[in-house]
Amino acid sequence: MCRCMRDGCVTLLIMATRRALHFVFKVGNRFQTARFYRDVLGMKGITLASSQAVSNARKLEWPLSEVAEGVFETEAPGGYKFYLQNCSPPQPDPVLKVTLAVSDLQKSLNYWSNLLGMKIYEKDEEKQRALLGYADNQCKLELQGIKGAVDHAAAFGRIAFSCPKKELPDLEDLMKRENQKILTPLVSLDTPGKATVQVVILADPDGHEICFVGDEAFRELSKMDPKGSTLLDDAMAADKSDEWFAKQNKLKASG
């Protein structure tokens, strides 16, 4: 539960209404990246509990390095690291956690827990890490303290959560009152022929982007398309990006 102020009163919001959705990465080689997520990780991914993913990586001869008993480190095109646990997932979502680097653990905990309402599951001052989440059976967020500022370079992405649409205005108001950064004020995004979603995009103390989206419309938009994999391949093949880079005499990212 989190506390927010409305009309001078304390309002309790049950965080079970919020859920982790996805993390957005910037990538270079989309074909190799798609192959990694689909063929190695088996995703329709960052710590993933999936013996099938480990088996897939071995079968496809994707580099694996055992960093602990039953835990393997691998790397996606673009340099993003993934940790695969060689076991069956303990929950419906095999993605166990997403780790973000933070420069000040206590400051980040205040933001993610006190303002965004995440429950603190674990906290280790000595190792400068904490594990948070909105529900026991959801993907968790791990905050890992580092020495110095967080360098996002050009490859950082955005983490997304959903909540009931009616909570979005209150969330935006809370961030305004607390003088927190709002990258994109609450806005409605139209998708032709589909649901219109409302989103607000925030930034935590280290500049990590956080998108909150109305859950009702997002559920409609995120339904599984049985032709999705084929449509993605066709779209990437038809975008003529290789031709564009060649004309601009620029080197296309290969990672």
pLDDT score for 246: 77
Mean pLDDT of 174-194: 91
For residue 2, give Cα distances in angstroms to 16, 60, 82, 119, 152: 11, 45, 31, 9, 29
Average pLDDT over residues 156-178: 89
- pLDDT band for 2, please (50, 70, 90 cuts): very low
pLDDT: is 209 or 255 the higher one?
Answer: 209
Q: Does 253 have pLDDT greater than 50?
A: yes
Does position 140 have pLDDT exceeding 80, yes or no?
yes
- The predicted-structure confidence for 199-252, as pLDDT tens digits, reads as follows 999 999 999 889 998 888 777 766 666 776 676 677 777 777 777 777 777 766
Q: Reduced to 3 states, what is the DSSP secondary structure of residue 123?
A: strand
* H helical segments located in 68-213: 105-109, 168-177
pLDDT at 11: 27
Average pLDDT over residues 9-38: 53
Q: Taking Cα atoms as reference points, which of 203, 201, 212 lies closest to residue 100? A: 203
For residue range 105-121, list pLDDT tens digits in order.
Answer: 999 999 999 999 999 99
- Give per-residue pLDDT as tens, 52-74: 888 888 888 888 888 888 888 88
Tokens of 216: 């009702």
